[in-house]
Amino acid sequence: MKALVIDDHAIVRGGLRRLLGALPWTVVEAANGRDALILVRAEQPELVVLDLNLPGIGGFELLRRILVECPATRIMVLSMHIEARFAARAMQAGARGYMSKNAAPAELLKALKMVADGGRYIEAAIAQDLALQTVAAPDPQTLLSERDMEIVRLLGAGRSLTEIAETLGLGYKTVANTCTQIKTKLGVSRTADLIRLSFDLDGAD
**How much is the pTM?**
0.67
What's the confidence (pLDDT) of residue 189?
72
Average pLDDT over residues 142-151: 80
User: How sure is the predictor about 198, in pLDDT bands with cuts at 50, 70 and 90?
Assistant: low
Question: Is the Cβ–Cβ distance between 100 and 49 less than 8 Å?
Answer: no
Q: Which helix (H) or strand (E) holds 193?
A: helix 191-198
pLDDT in tens, 52-88: 999 888 899 999 999 999 999 999 999 999 888 889 8
What's the confidence (pLDDT) of residue 142?
63
What's the confidence (pLDDT) of residue 186?
75
Distance CA 99, CA 130 (A): 13
Question: Is the Cβ–Cβ distance between 27 and 55 less than 8 Å?
Answer: no
Q: Which has the minimum average pLDDT: 55-64, 174-183, 185-194? A: 185-194
Domains recognised in the chain with CATH numbers: 2-133 (3.40.50.2300), 140-198 (1.10.10.10)
Summary mean pLDDT of the chain: 86
Distance CA 26, CA 109 (A): 15
Bridge pairing between strands 121-122 and 2-6: unpaired
Question: Is the Cβ–Cβ distance between 110 and 80 less than 8 Å?
Answer: no
What's the confidence (pLDDT) of residue 88?
87
The pair phi, psi for residue 60, each rounded to 5°, is -70, -40
